[in-house]
Amino acid sequence: MSENKKVVAIIPARGGSKRIPGKNIIDFNGKPLIAWTIEAAKESGLFSKIIVSTDSDEIAKVSEEWGAEVPFLRDDKADDISPVSEATIRTLTQLEERGEKFDDVMQLFTVCPLRNAQDITDSYKFFNEQKAPFVLSCYKYAWMNPWWAMKLNDKYESTWIYPEAKTTRSQDLPELFSPTGAIWIANIEALKKEGTFYGTGHVWWEIDWKRAVDVDNYEDLDLARALTKL
């Protein structure tokens, strides 16, 4: 699968979440939220190492209990402003300073707990087949139709985002896709050069929307919990 390349999984898990306090280790169907991502990464059998990048001693402790490595705490890019890509690059640099080098990196967000081991292996197979420097996961909009999106003012009057589409039947509109943080893959040298997973030549890999949920608030958490019961 890895074509003899060394692949590292990096799971960014900053402390200090504001919308859901303690989000990365909150209980999710009987396990800490981060455990779902760690277990999927382990089950895939793809990685030389599974590293959690965090600035929190508590998250580090929980991560190690569930089988990830936390060889150091994040010493930079631990605020809520820096792009996550920069934190992942810093983690790779810290690993290299310890003599640990890898070919490819897969960044797995804790807040996407429903992505599974098969998604991980399928996406990496796609990455190798495409020979692209970057692959990011996306999902196809299902029951929500963004073509009919609108803004409401304080008088509840609407401004249509796509006014040309508001009277078009949904089946006649092009399919639209949204990024998800479930799986981001990069050739490490390309990532260090570009500074972002959205670098030159990036392509998209589609994941089923039911496994693409990003947990940013309590409503997302309720949705993700409901989907585990399907």
* pLDDT tens-digit series, residues 163-213: 999 999 988 999 999 999 999 999 999 999 999 999 999 999 999 999 999
pLDDT at 78: 53
| 103 C-beta neighbours (distance < 10 Å), count | 15
Q: What angle do CA 89, 91, 96 make, to 5 degrees?
A: 95
| Residues 76-116: tens digit of each pLDDT | 655 565 689 999 999 999 999 999 999 999 999 999 999 99
Rounded CA-CA distance 105/125 in Å is: 13
| Its pTM surpasses 0.85 | yes
Contact 88, 68 (CB under 8 A): no
Q: Which CATH number fits domain 7-140+177-225: 3.90.550.10, 3.40.50.720, 3.90.1150.10, 1.20.1250.20?
A: 3.90.550.10
Q: Write the single-letter amino acid at 152.
A: L
Mean pLDDT, rounded, for 14-31: 91
Would you state the pLDDT for residue 18? Answer: 80
The confidence score (pLDDT) of residue 65 equals 98
Q: Residue 189: count other Cβ atoms within 10 Å of its Cβ.
A: 11
Q: Would you say residue 150 has pLDDT above 80? A: yes
CA R_g for the chain: 19
Query: What per-residue string of b and e applies to 61-96 under the rule 16 or more CB within 10 Å gives b?
Result: ebbeebebebeebbeebbeeeeebbebbbbbbebbe
Looking at the chain, the domain(s) classified CATH 3.90.550.10 span 7-140+177-225
pLDDT score, position 2? 54
Selected residue with higher pLDDT from 105 and 3: 105
The dihedral region occupied by 63, where left means phi > 0, alpha psi between -120 and 50, and beta the remainder, is alpha
Sign of the CA dihedral with 69 first, then 73, 77, and 81 last? positive
pLDDT of residue 76: 63
Residue 19: the pLDDT is 85
Residue 143 confidence class, pLDDT cut points 50, 70, 90: confident
In this prediction, residue 149 has a pLDDT band, given cuts at 50, 70 and 90, of very high
End-to-end Cα distance, the chain: 30
